[in-house]
Structure formats: structure tokens, C-alpha cells
């Protein structure tokens, strides 16, 4: 988080802007990053509004630039701006979709989480991060190198934010229900599963000074447990990973990060593994023509487990 030098702030004229700008001010103050305000609107000329926002933030001492994009769908415009401006973080206020819309069309926020190479902060609440709980969600049941690196990144970002905001860092992992038919006897009993998950968490606990009181290992589906635990802790921010499931599998199943957007009562910071970031940067390259982009889109993200 401290390495961010340029932050993309997606301004939606149909939503109250102070909710988003207050979080942008906080992050820019802590990281000393430049703020690039982007409005995606094909119907209205928002130059006066953007210039007014730029002037107000500049008077407060922030470095600010503005842009309006009218030629692309919102998620593509955001990714284009993120790439061209070299932004290390994208901030956007969440706009919930109704169930019918989501059953017919992939929500724009889902597309952004799938395809944006940089971390994405979805702002949902006016609750300040300062002095509040920061929840990090990891899936320690997946212990391959890619997931271990992702888990470290998730908890590391949570740790930095908790330090920055004088908050309390929590870590959680959802474990599966026991199955007597499981090949590994560890997964036949709830007690042995919990012991295994606790053991898998020890390295992260030690590295980021998380005691057992702030570790939450519970039985169930991640997309159900994450909002429940965040609500219980009254978390101001939840940090989660996304393996960028795309293609038909993504359309039918979705990702945990996407599925919990509407149910979480906190802000959400979404990170990706490094190898997926590299492929998404290729996909976002402006030099790609549609056939090349389509070929990259078929890269097998959907072979990853999407629990966290």
C-alpha cells in the first residue's frame, strides 16, 4: 500500500462523491500518491464538474488530474486509464445490481475485478478505517506457491492498512465440511481439519503478529462466512484475493470476491496473483487486436479454485 504513487479514482456523477473522495483523501495522505479522477459517461459533459473537484482537492494540497472517457464501456475505460496513467490502485464506489440484471448480464464491477491488473478498492461504506477492524480473508487449504504468495500479499496489505489506520488486523479462512469418504483422513473429521488449518496459518500469524484471538477459522463456504465474520467484527475493510475466473466458468460460477460484493457491509480491497496480473496486463495492452485479446481471454484462469 505504501508503494502506491498514483491512484485512479472512478467518479460516478449518479452517486454521492464524498463517500469515495473521503477514502481517496485518506489514502493519498498516507501514501502521498497522485489522484487521477476518471468519469465514464457518454451522455454528459462533466468537464466543469471534474475541474471543480480538481480545484477543491488541489486547494487541500493534493496532486490531482482529471479525465472523462466516453468511448468505452466503463470497465474498459477504467482499465485503459489505469494502464495509461500507471495507477497502482483503482478506487470505485460500488453500484449494486438487482438479481435479474445479474442473471442476464455480468455486472460492470465484476468485470472490473476480473480484468483489472491492479488492486481494486470497492468503497461501500462511510465507516472510517481509523481505529476499526481490518479483515483479511485467505484460503490456506490451497497451499501451492501461487496461493501462498497471494495469501502473503493479502495479509501484508491488511497489515499495512491496519498500521496506517491504527486499526486491528484480523485473518480468517473458511474450511470445508468433513467427509468420511475423503482420501486424506485429515478431512474426515472437523477437529482434524481445524487443526490443519490452524497449522497452515501459523507462518502468516508469526510474520504479521496475529494472535489466535484475531484468527477466525470456521466451517462453511467462503462467500457466506466472509460477510458474516466481517459483520461480526464490524470490519471497515475486507481484503480478499481474486483468481480472475473468466470465460464460461466465470459467467456461470463467478468468484468469491464478486459474489460477496453486495452482501459485505465493509469496503473491499481485491488483489490478484502475480502471474494473473501479468496476463491481464497483456490483455489490457492497447496494441492487441480483437482476435489476440480473445485468445488471451481464453487463457485458463478457470482452472484455478475460486474459493478465495
Residue entry with cell 475493510: 237
Domains contained in the chain, number:
2
Q: What is the CATH number of the domain that holds 48?
A: 3.40.50.620
Cell of 107: 455486472
What per-residue confidence (pLDDT) applies to 104? 62
**Is 54 a member of any domain?**
yes
In a domain, 18, yes or no: yes
Do 235 and 138 belong together in one domain? Answer: yes
Domain-terminating residue out of 64, 93, 122: 93
Asked if the structure places residue 289 within a domain, the reply is no
Regarding whether 195 and 66 lie in a shared domain, the answer is: no
Residues 83 and 153 in one domain: no
53 with 153, same domain: the answer is no
Write out the residue range of the structural domain in which residue 255 sits: 133-274
Q: Is the dihedral of CA 144, 145, 148, 149 positive or negative?
A: negative
Q: Which three cell numbers stand for residue 137?
A: 480473508
Residue 280's pLDDT is what? 59
Q: Are residues 86 and 166 in the same domain?
A: no
Per-residue pLDDT at 1: 67
What integer pLDDT is reported at residue 42 of this predicted model? 78
Residue 297 in domain: no
Quick one: pLDDT at residue 183? 74
CA 135 – CA 157 distance, rounded (Å): 11
Identify the H or E element spanning 157.
helix 145-164
CATH number of the domain residue 265 falls in: 3.40.50.12370
Q: Do 186 and 64 fall into the same domain?
A: no
236 vs 230: CA distance, rounded Å: 8
Identify the segments of the chain with pLDDT beneath 70: 1-2, 97-105, 181-182, 243-254, 274-308
CA 132 to chain centre: 19
At residue 218, the pLDDT reads 95
Examine the domain organization and report whether 139 and 270 are in the same domain: yes
pLDDT of the residue at 185: 72
Sign of CA dihedral 146, 75, 35, 128: negative
- Spatial CB neighbours of 267, under 8 Å, sequence gap ≥ 6: 23, 121, 122, 123, 124, 125, 127, 129, 236, 237, 238
Q: Return the closest-CA partner of residue 251 out of 55, 35, 103.
A: 103
Q: Cβ contacts of residue 233 below 8 Å, gap of 6+?
A: 133, 135, 170
Amino acid at each position: 500500500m505504501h508503494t502506491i504513487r498514483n491512484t485512479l479514482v472512478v467518479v460516478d456523477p449518479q452517486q454521492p462523491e464524498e463517500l469515495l473522495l473521503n477514502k481517496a483523501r485518506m489514502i493519498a495522505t498516507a501514501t502521498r500518491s497522485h489522484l487521477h479522477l476518471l468519469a465514464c459517461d457518454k451522455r454528459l459533459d462533466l468537464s466543469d464538474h471534474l475541474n471543480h473537484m480538481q480545484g477543491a482537492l488541489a486547494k487541500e494540497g493534493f496532486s490531482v488530474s482529471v479525465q472523462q472517457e466516453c468511448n468505452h464501456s466503463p470497465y474498459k475505460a477504467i482499465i485503459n486509464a489505469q494502464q495509461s496513467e500507471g495507477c497502482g490502485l483503482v478506487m470505485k464506489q460500488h453500484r449494486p445490481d438487482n438479481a435479474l440484471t445479474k442473471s442476464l448480464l455480468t455486472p460492470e464491477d465484476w468485470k472490473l475485478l476480473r480484468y483489472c491488473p491492479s488492486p481494486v478498492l470497492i468503497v461501500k461504506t462511510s465507516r472510517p478505517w481509523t481505529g476499526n477492524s481490518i479483515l483479511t480473508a485467505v484460503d490456506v487449504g490451497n497451499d501451492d506457491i501461487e496461493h501462498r504468495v497471494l495469501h502473503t500479499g493479502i495479509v501484508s496489505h491488511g497489515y499495512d492498512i491496519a498500521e496506517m489506520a491504527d486499526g486491528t488486523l484480523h485473518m480468517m479462512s473458511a474450511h470445508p465440511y468433513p467427509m468420511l469418504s475423503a482420501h486424506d483422513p485429515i478431512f474426515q473429521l472437523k477437529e482434524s481439519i481445524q487443526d490443519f488449518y490452524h497449522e497452515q496459518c501459523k507462518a502468516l500469524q508469526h510474520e504479521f503478529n496475529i494472535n489466535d484471538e484475531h484468527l477466525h477459522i470456521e466451517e462453511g463456504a467462503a462467500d457466506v462466512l466472509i460477510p458474516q465474520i466481517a459483520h461480526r467484527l464490524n470490519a471497515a475493510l475486507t481484503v480478499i484475493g481474486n483468481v480472475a475466473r473468466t470465460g464460461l466458468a466465470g459467467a456461470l460460477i463467478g468468484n468469491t470476491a464478486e459474489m460477496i460484493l453486495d452482501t459485505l457491509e465493509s469496503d473491499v480491497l481485491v488483489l490478484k496473483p502475480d502471474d494473473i496480473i501479468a496476463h491481464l496486463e497483456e490483455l489490457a495492452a492497447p496494441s492487441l487486436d480483437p482476435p489476440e485479446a480473445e485468445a488471451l481471454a481464453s487463457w485458463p484462469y478457470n482452472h484455478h479454485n475460486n474459493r478465495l
